[in-house]
Chain A
Amino acid sequence: MNEEMTIQSLVKVMLKRWLLILMLTILSIGVALLISYFIQTPIYEAETQILVNQKSYENQQLVGAQNVDTDLRLINTYNVIIKSPVILAKVIEVLVLDTTPEKLMRQIEVSSANNSQVVNIRVQDENSERAVKIANTIAEIFKEEIPVLMHVDNINILFVAQNSEHPVPVKPNKLLNLIIAAITGFSLAMVLAYFLEKIDRTIKTEQDIEVLSLPVIGVVSNIEMPTRKKSRNRGSS
């Protein structure tokens, strides 16, 4: 068939199989709810901020911009160092965590705003308290290690992650999951409905017959009224 996929045909298909579309959408939302609430473990997040700043600015001749510039350049290096096993192995050791540096690395996100000397260390964990501990420990160990590694002492802990009384998990994002599920379910249903429409090659209207270039001599409606069982009025041949 060379029918074009027009808005009208889509709407027609939608109206025809609205129940299927609705059911599939609701079903996928249901599945998303189930997964978000019962299967996915909630993940908590803790954030520590460190400030990269030379303590000895005032003692030097060259003040201001140049030092700040140096610090900014260092931040990129720091971002990598924070996530390196050098730091993380120590964190695991100190906190006696049952994990590997590689696994821990995946829980950590280090970021800094553009041209800012503040570095955010974000840690995600299934346990909110542990997330806080890890975040703070990373910051501390990093602060301790940097003078050894880089021969500079320019790290200040700006903000220590705190334990919250009512920690709110960052994952799973239920609303986002629901929206994604609803959209996915709806699109799947539409594709399915359209597919069903396409594979239904049965003849239904006079137009279908005329396309086959056969004359239509007449139509015969269901002799039985729709209130009765359909199969019983099938003409025997």
Chain B
Amino acid sequence: MFSKRKTKKSTMARKLITVSDMTSIPSEQYRTIRANIKFSQPNRDVRTILVTSSIAGEGKSTNAANIGVVFAQEGKNVLIVDADMRKPTLHHTFYLDNISGLSSVLSRQSTLQEVIQETFVEGVDIISSGAIPPNPTELLASETMTSFLAEVKDLYDIIILDAPPLLFLSDAQILSNKCDGTLLIVNTGVVGKAAVIKSKSILTVSKANILGVILNNYKIKGSTYEYYYGKE
């Protein structure tokens, strides 16, 4: 029943599962994540959330987009920022272009209002990465970035930042310090324990508020989930 429907889905649908199939298992899992984010820090107002991972290809952008969507589905005003200025992909997910974006704001070439793009998902706006700058780390570390975050906080309830991987690049580390909370994506069965430990220590050093880990590509054992949610 499931596989039949999935095969007809486009690239977008697979990535934005929370839009294309709200009753699917992953959609339900994203709603759980949404609830856990809120409950994990009852004493803190977590509004800027950084999504990062140890290495590339663990599903940061996909998770950032879907988490943004589930918050929007709850009625929140959501902004997703592509803070990965080295390999931006967020605009692809939402079928938008990447002419100007975060890098334009940080280099003071554009204003915030100019770079915000509305998406086809209600309640979700995005800021793409913008042109790839030669000095992404410096831009993210700048005071402009801090004031940018303060500015968007006035406009949106939840701001999700899609960051580069933690290991080998300091971008995510810098950003994690500026954000209220950090989510670490772990690609199950691919990333080793040592890499995750290293990522954790990197985040600890930058005094990041680690909200928790999201295990991506998680293999569910047994059919409990399908029994509860699989039927429509």
Contacts and interface: CB of A to CB of B under 8 A. Distances in A.
A87 B70 CA distance: 96
B123 interface: no
Interface string B37-74: 10010000000000001001111111100100000000
Contacts of B216: 219-220, 235
Contact of B25 (A201, A208, A215, A221): A221
Interface stretch (A128-136, A149-157, A223-231): A223-231
B184 interface: yes
B162 A220 contact: no
Contacts of B92: 236
B76 interface: no
Interface string A179-223: 000000000000000000000011111101101101111111111
Contact of A220 (B7, B40, B193, B218): B218
Contacts of A209: 186, 196, 213, 215
Contact of A217 (B57, B188, B196, B211): B211
B33 A218 contact: yes
Contacts of B6: 224-225, 227-228
Nearest to B199: A214
Contact of A228 (B7, B194, B214): B7
A208 B193 contact: yes
Contacts of A225: 2-3, 6
A205 B214 CA distance: 11
B30 interface: yes
A202 B55 CA distance: 13
A234 interface: yes
A209 to B, nearest CB: 5
A51 B33 CA distance: 91
B7 A236 contact: no
A40 interface: no
A99 interface: no
Contacts of B119: none
Nearest to A201: B192
Chain A, interface size category, equals: 20 to 34
Given A203-B192, A212-B193, A233 B14 contact: yes
B2 A235 contact: no
A222 B217 contact: yes
Given A212-B193, A215-B40, A220-B29, A203 B215 contact: yes
Given A223-B14, A224-B14, A235-B216, A214 B29 contact: no
B200 A212 contact: yes
A164 interface: no
B121 interface: no
B22 interface: no
B197 A221 contact: no
A8 interface: no
Contact of A219 (B17, B29, B189): B29
Nearest to B60: A237
Interface string A158-183: 00000000000000000000000000
A234 B200 CA distance: 23
Given A201-B193, A223-B26, A237-B84, A215 B211 contact: yes
Contacts of B40: 215, 217
B210 A204 contact: no
Given A203-B191, A228-B7, A218 B32 contact: yes
Contact of B62 (A203, A221, A235): A235
Which of B40, B59, B87, B218 has most chain A Cβ within 10 Å? Answer: B218
Closest 8 CB pairs of A and B: A235-B59, A235-B62, A217-B212, A218-B33, A237-B60, A215-B212, A219-B218, A201-B192
Given A202-B188, A220-B214, 4 more contacts: A204-B219, A217-B36, A228-B7, A237-B87
5 contacts: A202-B192, A211-B193, A222-B26, A235-B58, A235-B216
